[in-house]
Each structure stands twice: as structure tokens, then as C-alpha cells.
Amino acid sequence: MDVTRLFEVTELLDHVYEFLEPSWHFALARTCKSIYYRSDRVLSKHRAAYKDSRIASDRYPQTLLRLFHSASCTVGPDAIEAWHVRELEIWGSRRSWDEWRSWELSPSGTVSLTHDQVALSLPFAIGELEYHLERLESVMSGVQHDIACQRVRDGEDGFFKMVLISLLPRLKALKFVERPHDGHTSFTWLKTAIGWSLRNRTPWPPGFLSLRNVAVGVPTVAAQAGSDGISARVDGLAKLLRLPNIVEVYYRNLEMEYHPELEYLDTSSAFYDLPRGVPPSRLLYSIESGATHSFFERYYAQRQLLLSQ
């Protein structure tokens, strides 16, 4: 085969990969030895993503931007990195454009934003996020949509990270690091988005569907020594237990925290209760959760009822 013909075949193969989901890349590459060797560019991306992106975090803004772009793609090589993410760690909340800097962990275990770093200018593709805002408009109330748009314009990253979580197709574990006085805006939006699926009976987003383990308030050294901890509304725990394939939930220092602008949008006590048929094998770990005494009474009562059936 002459060189020109070889390049034509390789270019054609690259175009084929552009229309395939990442899960199909390996099947095509294994078709024959010739295709395997000509698939090196795509397979190299898979190897790099498997090595570097299985455990991802929001520590670096650049990582968030790259993952968000990848997760917004469903086919082609650009979708590969998001496809390999199995665990996502959330270190904290950025509330303005000036805070789009990296998180750092001090020797004492305190998580804070770096001070010797220039914040990213207009850090993520507004067009991509607005596309997802339009798609969610049908399940969001008008007030929720307006709040989300305003927060995005202000530079808050909570809604942005919630959308990212919902798009990661093979996400298995989600962890929120405990940080004093930070209730994690992304967690607030996460439990609100779970409520959208429950109320509207819409299909679960791929990231919500694949989640097996969620940990809220993972302690650092400083947190173990004693801190205010993460605080969240009690129904956040109930919402996590409604995820379709959840297996383990870890909650530390559960407290009551009110967000006046979102509070009245999501107060239906009907969603506090577990649905019938929740597998009793689901595990719940909770530490220092005195604010949820009545909730746990209902949870364990239902769990014992299911065990006896």
C-alpha cells in the first residue's frame, strides 16, 4: 500500500472514531491488527485518561474546564477523558470570578484558595453551560432558572459542577471535602437536581444513574481535630438515598443550613421518605448527625420493614 493510500485509510478511521462513543473505541481497534495500529492516537488518549483521570477533583480550575468540555461531548476522542472518570472530589465552593484559583491543603489540613495565583479570566465556555441551562429549563422553575443564570454570571461554580456531575457517564464515587463554613454550593444544586428528576419523572442523567457511593463532609486533618464541618439541609441526605443505584452514603456533621433564595423551591416533605422497594443492602454511614433524629427514625423503621418482607 502506498503512502498516500495509507494516509487516506488512517484519516477515514479517524473520522469513524469521531462518531463513536468511547465504549466502542476498543471494539473497533480490536477488529484487526491493521486497524489496531492505525488507532494509536485514540488508544493513547484512553491510556492517558485511564492513568490520570480515574480520580478527578475540582482542585485545579483547568481540570474542571477540561472535564466539562469532555463530558459535554458524547462521541469522539474529546469524550474520552470524561468517560474514564470514576471518582470526583469536590474541595470547596468558588463564589466569584476572582476565586477561580486552585485549592491548596496546608500542613495543618486546612483547605483554602491559593493567594499567589491569578484567577482564570472567563474560565469556562459560557456557551457550553448555557446550552445545558436551556436543556434544563423544562424541569426548572422560572425562579430556579433565573437564580442559576445569575450565579453563573457572578462566577459561582456550584451549578457548573452539578451539571458536570450529571454528565459523567461512569461516575461511581462522589466526595465532598469538609471545609469550615462551606456548605458546598454544588451539593445544594445536586440535591435540587435530584428533586427535579423525582418530581418530573424524567430519565436520570447518566452521572446520577451511575453513582454508587457519595461521601459528604470527608474530613481533613483539621476537620478531625474539630471544626464547624459541612452543614446541609436534612433533606439532602434523603435525596441521596433516592438515587437509583446508590449503595453507600457517608454523612459527617449533618446540620441544618438554610438558603433563603432556594429554600421554598424544594420543601416537599414527600421526598424525605424512602420509596418502597429500596434494597435493604444499601448502607448508610452517619457521624454526629443529631439534627436528623426524626429522619433516621423513619429510615430505620422502613429498613426494618423491608428486611421483614
Specify which residues 248 forms β-bridges with: 213, 283
Q: How far is CA 203 from CA 139, 141, 150, 153, 171, in A?
A: 11, 18, 26, 28, 17
What pLDDT is recorded for position 297?
Answer: 46
Q: Are residues 47 and 80 in the same domain?
A: no
Q: Is the pLDDT of residue 273 over 90?
A: no
How many of the other CB atoms lie within 10 Å of CB of 201? 6
Residue type, 94: R
Q: In the predicted model, what is the mean pLDDT of residues 259-279? A: 48
Which has more confidence, 182 or 288? 182
Q: Is the pLDDT of residue 268 over 60?
A: no
Q: Are residues 191 and 125 in the same domain?
A: yes
C-alpha cell at 1: 500500500
What pLDDT is recorded for position 139?
Answer: 64
What pLDDT is recorded for position 9?
Answer: 67
Q: Are residues 34 and 6 in the same domain?
A: yes
Q: In the predicted model, what is the mean pLDDT of residues 271-291? A: 49
Q: Are residues 78 and 142 in the same domain?
A: yes
What pLDDT is recorded for position 301?
Answer: 47
Q: Is the pLDDT of residue 152 over 90?
A: no
Q: Are residues 34 and 64 in the same domain?
A: no
Q: Are residues 30 and 62 in the same domain?
A: no
Q: pLDDT, tens digit, for every residue of 10-51? A: 788 888 999 999 999 999 999 988 889 889 999 999 999 999
Confidence of residue 284 (pLDDT cuts 50, 70, 90): low
Contact residues for 212 (Cβ-Cβ < 8 A; gap 6+): 172, 173, 245, 246, 247, 248
Q: Is the pLDDT of residue 293 over 60?
A: no
Q: In the predicted model, what is the mean pLDDT of residues 238-243? A: 86
Q: Are residues 59 and 127 in the same domain?
A: yes
Q: How far is CA 221 from CA 107, 181, 215, 227, 279, in A?
A: 9, 16, 16, 10, 34
What pLDDT is recorded for position 287?
Answer: 46
Q: What's the domain count of the chain?
A: 2
Range of the domain at 144: 54-308
Contact residues for 153 (Cβ-Cβ < 8 A; gap 6+): none
Residue 307: strand, helix, or coil:
helix
What pLDDT is recorded for position 181?
Answer: 76
Q: In the predicted model, what is the mean pLDDT of residues 146-167? A: 89
Q: In the predicted model, what is the mean pLDDT of residues 78-105? A: 93
Instruction: Please identify, among 52, 67, 84, the residue that sits at the C-terminal boundary of a domain.
Output: 52
Q: In the predicted model, what is the mean pLDDT of residues 183-191? A: 89
Please state, rounded to an integer, the average pLDDT across all residues of the chain: 77
Q: Is the pLDDT of residue 89 over 90?
A: yes
Q: Is the pLDDT of residue 288 over 70?
A: no
Q: Are residues 125 and 22 in the same domain?
A: no
Q: Are residues 20 and 126 in the same domain?
A: no
Q: How far is CA 11 from CA 5, 14, 39, 81, 154, in A?
A: 10, 5, 10, 22, 43
Q: Are residues 147 and 253 in the same domain?
A: yes
Helix (H) or strand (E) holding 149: helix 142-154
Q: Are residues 83 and 32 in the same domain?
A: no
Q: Is the pLDDT of residue 305 over 60?
A: no
- The cell 491510556 sits on which residue? 47
The reported pTM is 0.81
Q: In the predicted model, what is the mean pLDDT of residues 107-135? A: 73
What pLDDT is recorded for position 108?
Answer: 78
Which has more confidence, 236 or 256? 236
Which has more confidence, 231 or 58? 58
Instruction: Please identify, among 37, 52, 67, the residue that sits at the C-terminal boundary of a domain.
Output: 52
CA-to-CA distance for 300 and 294, rounded, in angstroms?
Answer: 10
What pLDDT is recorded for position 178?
Answer: 84
Q: Are residues 277 and 182 in the same domain?
A: yes
How many of the other CB atoms lie within 10 Å of CB of 83? 22
